[in-house]
Amino acid sequence: MSTTSFETTAPLVAAPARSRLPLHIVVFLAPALLIYSIFSIYPLVDTIRLSFYAGDQTGAQHFAGLDNFRMLLSDPTWSGQFWNALRNNLFFFGVHMVVQNGIGLGLAMLLSLPRLTGGSVYRTLIFLPTMLSVVIIGFVWQLMLNPLWGIAPSLLKAVGLGSFFGPWLGQESTALITISLISVWQFVGIPMMLIYAALINIPDDLLDAATVDGAGPFSVFWFVRLPLILPTLGVVSILTFVANFNAFDLIYAVKGALAGPNFSTDILGTFFYRTFFGYQLQVGSPTMGATVATAMLIVILIGVLIYLFGIQRRLQRHTF
Amino acid sequence: MADVSIHGLAKSFGPVDILRDINLTVEDGEFVVFVGPSGCGKSTLLRIIAGLESVSAGEIRIGGRRVNELPPADRKIAMVFQSYALYPHMSVYKNMAFGLKFAKTDKAEADRRVRQAAEILKLSALLDRKPRELSGGQRQRVAIGRAIVRKPSVFLFDEPLSNLDAALRVNTRIEIAKLHQELGATMIYVTHDQVEAMTLASKIVVLNHGRIEQVGAPLDLYRRPCNVFVAGFIGSPRMNFIKGEVRGISNQSVTIGFAGAEMKVDLSGKDLAVGDMVTVGIRPEHMAEQGADAIALEGRVDAVERLGEASYVYMKLASQDDVVVRAPGEAHIAAGDLFKAYFSPRSTHVFDAEGRSLRMDVKP
């Protein structure tokens, strides 16, 4: 290798000692890297590894390639449940996107009204359910909606809407939307807070300028505020997506692992639970469970990638 | 084009009075500057004219039409904000065309107006840029362009230069003055900077504590301030004020003693009595190191500020009054020197105990 006169000059003597071993970087990164590797990266990788294996009655595992995935997607005993869970999960996500984030946006708009009194009280009250345990929320709503001793039938009767009441959590046609709305009720505070923070970040001058320009309240929202909070709406959407496809607790708390009636509230989380741990007559299978978990990972990964490369790049964060 | 008239206007936020009894007429095509210290209500007054704030009492007319109940868009006004308030997600073109969309201006006409305004403001090459890609001065011009395209009767400027650096501020000030000449529109301009007020205005409105202190042409306010506040606010460095006492009153003149000196000034003495306390005001630029004028104040120099074309001499009199004198740039004066400042009694201002000017040619 040819050396230039630059490389042979004096500073070279001192330089390698500093650049060859950035010890402080290693020291600072090590704790996080270690913990993250042990508790997150290793289980993830091992789950993916496990999804390529199949077990027999003796518990011995052997490499099976993509057989598990083929079975999950096409074997009638597995695929019916898998597609059902995925479909339900998409519906669950759709309800959150439309209802939870829609109401969250509306509430944030109301909270940002300059003449609103008691805004911080509303904010706290609406955010409160978010901090409660999902098990408590599920239990309370189950009691309230109970057709025999719940408060919902008598409340509806009191306002003359008694005939509309049904055993919403028990009917195959209404159970999933009811569960979705319970979850919406609990978590509507999160999009509200995030969007509210974005809204109050927009300078008043900008809204005044739009008003002077002749924009009415709706136009100010549509042409000025909405475009400026789009990045936040994107973040809210992706958080909703990830949370919904990892959801499990509310359905397990209200309907148990069988996600009844007749699997109508079954989502990927509950389906995974039954597959991995087994439930009642179903025997648990770690390898099939790992396969379901990997499928969930892929679904979420696809969603996040679509967001990152398809949507986020077009959203511009604005500084004021 | 239109005039603006305000009658008996008041504004309060809860128990706090922001503006009280404002009466003002802005003639068609006039350049009026509201000036005053921060918190005096000048921006609120501008926002009320714009329709962004409601009034507690009184009436506003633009072009003879009562506008109290009209939304901003129907008042034929355009406003330029201190922060420019450009829509960050829109291009320069869209920023300027935004208001035209709501005014239901025909597309071709809107395009023509935007391009014409861009031409005037030298923004033609920047029409596709976003505000964040522009410099402060360019953003300022876009904000002005957004106002021009709407062809308003009245332009409202809310401290439009305070976010610019000093050099750009002078340039833009001249641009705005030129713009006023070209468009001939009525302009109302808010600033706390009296230099901006003096250079731009055809009429200055001095506000303090929610009241109008004085209205007049820049040089009128400079020559004949009606009270201590206006006298101190207009002019830089500010006028020197020295406590004095009435020593004698004769026909058409009053003898005043102050800071160890005595002078005879042409004042109406009818509201004065011997022994009354008065305030004597002398502008730094009306005092000189030497002169044939009779009155002199002597003091010790505390500090000298050298600006090149002038030096400001800060001195303390034996009476403990602080006095600033504008001396020539090359004056050989140093801190610690004894200094004598000469001035003519004719260039002084005398204010009564309430701060009102006693000069006969002053009208509030």
Which structural domain, as residue segments, surrounds residue B56? 4-232
B89 and B120 share one domain: yes
Categorize the per-residue pLDDT at A4 as very low, low, confident or very high, splitting at 50, 70 and 90: very low
Are B222 and B115 members of one domain?
yes
Strand B31-35 and strand B203-208: the pairing is parallel
At A316 the pLDDT is 75
Output the domain CATH number for residue B333.
Answer: 2.40.50.140
**Cis preceding linkage at B237, omega within 30:** yes
Looking at the structure, do residues B221 and B323 belong to the same domain, yes or no?
A: no
- The CA distance from A292 to A282, in Å, is 15
Q: Among partner residues A203, A216, A319, which is closest to B83 by beta-carbon distance?
A: A203
As a whole number, mean pLDDT of residues A9-37 equals 74
Q: What is the mean pLDDT of residues A169-198?
A: 94
Within 8 A of A115 by CB-CB distance, chain B residues are none
For residues B249 and B347, state if they share a domain: yes
User: Which tokens sit at B159?
Assistant: 């401290």
Alpha helices in B271-340 (DSSP H): none
Tell me which chain A residues have a C-beta less than 8 angstroms from the C-beta of B85.
Answer: 203, 205-206, 208-209
pLDDT at residue number B250: 85
Does B73 contact A211 at a Cβ distance shorter than 8 Å? yes
Q: Report the gap between the CA of B316 and the closest CA in chain A (Å).
A: 46
**Same domain, residue pair B182 and B45:** yes
The pLDDT score that the predictor gives to residue B362 is: 65
Which residues on chain A are in Cβ contact (under 8 Å) with B149?
none
The answer to the question of residue B78 being in a domain is: yes
pLDDT over threshold 70, residue A1: no
Model-wide pTM > 0.90: no
Which is it for strands B240-250 and B277-282: parallel, antiparallel or unpaired?
antiparallel
Give the three-class secondary structure for B61: strand
Whether B358 maps to a domain, the answer reads no
Q: What share of chain B is helix, strand, coil (3-state, %, to 5)?
A: 25, 35, 35
pLDDT of residue A5: 46
Q: How far is B25 from chain A (nearest CA, A)?
A: 22
Closest chain B residue to A209, measured at CA: B85
Q: What is the model's pLDDT at position A2?
A: 46
Q: Chain A interface residues facing chain B, Cβ-Cβ under 8 Å?
A: 203, 205-206, 208-216, 219, 223-224, 227-228, 316, 318-320
Domain boundary among B212, B232, B252: B232
> Cα(A318)–Cα(A312) distance, rounded to whole angstroms?
13
**A211 to B72: CB separation less than 8 angstroms, yes or no:** yes
Does any domain span residue B53?
A: yes
| Chain B residue numbers touching A212 (CB-CB < 8 A) | 50-52, 72-73, 77-79, 99
From A224, which residue of chain B is nearest by alpha-carbon distance?
B87
Are both B141 and B205 inside the same structural domain? Answer: yes
CA distance B51 to chain A (A): 8
CA–CA distances in Å: residue A175 to residues A97, A172, A182, A269: 18, 6, 11, 17
Q: Taking 90 as the threshold, does the pLDDT of residue A285 lie above it?
A: no
Q: Are B150 and B252 part of one and the same domain?
A: no
Chain B's closest residue to A316, CA to CA, is B89
**Rounded-to-integer distance, Cα A318 and Cα B153, Å:** 33
* pLDDT score for A97: 96
Whether the pLDDT of residue A164 is over 60: the answer is yes
Residues B341 and B325 sit within 8 Å (Cβ to Cβ): yes
C-alpha span between A225 and A211 (Å, rounded): 12
User: Considering only CA atoms, which of A264, A314, A253, A292 is closest in space to residue A71?
Assistant: A292
Q: What is the pLDDT of residue B288?
A: 87
> Are residue B46 and residue B181 in the same domain, yes or no?
yes
In chain A, what are the helix, strand and coil shares in percent, each to the nearest 5? 70, 5, 25
- In angstroms, what is the C-alpha Rg of chain A? 26
Q: Are B195 and B333 within one domain?
A: no
| Below-50 pLDDT ranges, chain B | none
- Which chain B residue is nearest to residue A219, measuring alpha carbons? B102
Kindly report which listed range (A154-158, A194-198, A258-262) carries the lowest average pLDDT score. Answer: A258-262
> Is the omega angle on the peptide bond into residue B72 within 30 degrees of 0, that is, cis?
no
Quote the tokens at residue B327.
Answer: 């001396």
Are residues B290 and B246 both part of a single domain?
A: yes
Give the C-alpha distances (Å, rounded to integers) separating B16 from B20, B55, B209, B310.
11, 13, 11, 44
Q: Which helix (H) or strand (E) holds B5?
A: strand B4-13
Mean pLDDT along residues A239-263: 91
Element (H, E) at A13: helix A11-19
CB contact under 8 A, A214 and B83: no
Minimum-distance CB partner of A212 among B50, B83, B86: B50
Chain B interface residues facing chain A, Cβ-Cβ under 8 Å?
47, 50-52, 71-73, 77-79, 81-83, 85-89, 98-99, 102-103, 132, 146, 150
User: In A, which residues are within 8 Å of B146 by CB distance?
Assistant: 209, 213
Q: Which tens digits make up the pLDDT trace of A288-313? A: 999 999 999 999 999 999 999 988 88
Q: B320 and B243 in contact (C-beta within 8 Å)?
A: no
CATH number of the CATH domain containing B61:
3.40.50.300
Predicted pLDDT at B1? 61
Give, in order, the Cα–Cα distances in Å from A245 to each of A248, A249, A266, B19, B97. 9, 12, 12, 58, 44
Contact criterion met (CB < 8 Å) for A205 and B72: no
Q: Are residues B148 and B127 in the same domain?
A: yes
Query: Residue A101: which H helix or E strand, with range?
Result: helix A101-111
- Mutation target for A interface from B46, B52, B113, B150: give the one with most A CBs within 10 A: B52
Please report the pLDDT score of residue B363 as a whole number.
Answer: 58
Q: List all residues 6 or more positions away from A193 whose beta carbon is below 8 Å from its beta carbon.
A: A108, A123, A127
In Å, how far is A316's CA from the nearest CA of chain B? 8
Tokens of A132: 């409660």
pLDDT of residue B44: 92
Write out the two tokens for A151.
Answer: 């408060």
The complex scores an ipTM of 0.84
Check: CATH 1.10.3720.10 for A68-314?
yes
CB A124 within 8 A of CB A192: no
Query: How far is it, in rounded angstroms, from Cα A116 to Cα A220?
Result: 18
Which chain A residues are within 8 Å of B48, Cβ to Cβ?
Answer: none
Q: How far is A224 from chain B (nearest CA, A)?
A: 7
Q: Which of B52, B102, B103 sits opposite A219 (nearest CB)?
A: B102
Q: Enumerate the domain spans of chain A.
A: 68-314
User: For all residues of chain B together, what is the average pLDDT?
Assistant: 90
**Would you call A211 and B132 a contact, using CB atoms and an 8 Å cutoff?**
no
Task: Please answer yes or no on whether B99 and A212 come within 8 Å at the CB atom.
Answer: yes
Mean pLDDT, chain A, rounded, equals 89
pLDDT of B330: 86
CA–CA distance from B32 to each of B156, B215, B237 (Å)? 10, 10, 23
Domain assignment present for B276: yes
At B282 the three-state DSSP class reads strand
B29 and B168 share one domain: yes
Q: Is residue B132 in a domain?
A: yes
- How far the first Cα of chain B sits from its last, in Å, is 28
Residue B266 lies in a domain: yes
- DSSP at B119: H
Domain end position, chosen among B232, B266, B299? B232
Last residue of a domain, one of B174, B198, B232: B232
pLDDT at A19: 61
Q: Please tell me the predicted confidence (pLDDT) of residue B364.
A: 54
Residue A7 confidence class, pLDDT cut points 50, 70, 90: very low
